Structure 1
Amino acid sequence: MRVLVRVVATLLMALWLSSSVLADDKDKPDREGGIIGTGIIGTITHLGSIHVNGQHIQIDDQMPVRDSVPPITAGQLKPGHTVAVIATQADNGWHAQHIRQVLPLIGPVSEGPDGRKTVLGTQVETDGQAAIQIGDWVAVSGLWQGRKVRASRIEKLTGNEHQARLSGTYLGPDPKAPLVIGQSVVNGIEPEHLQPGDLVRVYGEATLGGIRANRLETGLFAEAVGVVLVEGYYSEPQPSGLYTVLGSGLVAYSDQPEMIDEQIRVIRCGEEGKLVDDTSADQPGSDIGSRAELGC
């Protein structure tokens, strides 16, 4: 009888282990099957489909663009819009599977203490974009540089009912408030589990110098991605050596912080939340094919 009990227990244990392995395998994305897409974050430079970071991406003109303001489809994207694209490779190049419009700032235009234009308390460098007036509600496309946004496209919003939005990098606690993105103070939600370098998206109501949040999300992609190609500017390295490409959610560490130039726009590759270079291409799990296609 004892032998029978042991045999049954052994069989049950084997069945449990095999089902656990199958469940784990089911939950893991299939890299070889092409299920995991490649992330491309940057500014649209040309049309004819779209060109981002030097990559030609085929699009379905009728594909909705997530988080777009005003709501648009992929065929309505314009040069200067900043986007986060999940793309997969086919015989003739990249094909977009999902597009999110990346808008660092949506809110009313105000005048800062130095007379410069701000949105939600953050200075906006227009670089010759359409003039904006105090009180205008605008959707700002562009890249973070330091604590300001260098706009690549600004669109005035019509109507009176708009939701303020803020999308940028959390760099840790700030003397102004527990959560500050750029120069914008975020109230209404206490940050939990945020790590320096995280990409944060905040939705809420515009306040003087910031935003009162009713929703906070992290990351730019709607699903898991493998390799990421990102355009942006480096953050100032922290005492720990941590730095990021602002607006990316990708981090790295440097023991030579003086070598990090925050004034130069860069295009970098990342994988699994980290900035990477060609020396790490042979690491286990690295998507070598996508990295080669992107020039990583």
Structure 2
Amino acid sequence: MAELPTGIPMALEPLVTRLLAPNASAYTHTGTQSYLVGDADLAVIDPGPDDPDHLAALLRAIDGRPVRAILVTHHHRDHSPATRPLARATGAPIVGAAPFASDYEGGRSDAAFDRDYAPDRVLGEGGSVAGRGWTLTALATPGHTSNHLCFALPETRALFSGDHVMGWATSVVSPPDGDMGDYMASLEKLMGRDDRIFYPGHGEAVDNPARLVRGMLGHRRQREGQILRRLGEGVSAVPDMVARMYAGLDPRLVPAAERSVLAHLHDLRKRGLVAEEGALWRMAA
């Protein structure tokens, strides 16, 4: 994956082609992956950042074929801004995740919100778009963001998992838009499915998705246990918890770790297990 050049279409299976955007970073890995679904006509999933080179690569790969829809898993700037120039170039509607609905942006440590994202049609659970020989059906998977969707391709039992399940790292969950309880419930939801493969927004395809999702659930439960142990030891500030729990972490990722720990704490508070006192946390009485 690290050697995959940007802007070069890669056929993953007869109905799925991947293009890598040139936006590699500590939070996007090698870059955002855009997907073309179909053959005679197409859907484009997560066209990525508004980058002229990536847009040109998408249009070359589309090669004049009708685009039935431009689908968006969620409203982060590494996933949705290219919807607008791509819609102008192809005439296709923008479909998928709900638009930005909050004034909150402070404290984000992953990709910022795309405040200009404006879908022509919002998909809820079970909503779909279709073309010749393909169907994409939305699964509501909130957690990473409140509006996150995955898209199932039943013809090949593939799932486009956006940033909910990635092929290289766990997703950042940053409150208040991100919600750890919702994220865990969305993982449990995927455990009840029989998808053959996941195509994530970042990282390699996941060819044993049930095993990965099970491991992600276990990892989050272990983090929760660590947090409760740190609170029991008297460690009550989020930065101190991260310093104890994430030994050797890349300094660029410390803000993301702090947001995820905070998301766990918010979930534990909702469940009555911890209490907040300003910037400090403690076990609930």
Q: Which has the higher strand share?
A: 1
Larger Rg: 1
With normalisation by structure 1, the TM-score equals 0.28
Give the TM-score of the pair, scaled to structure 2. 0.29
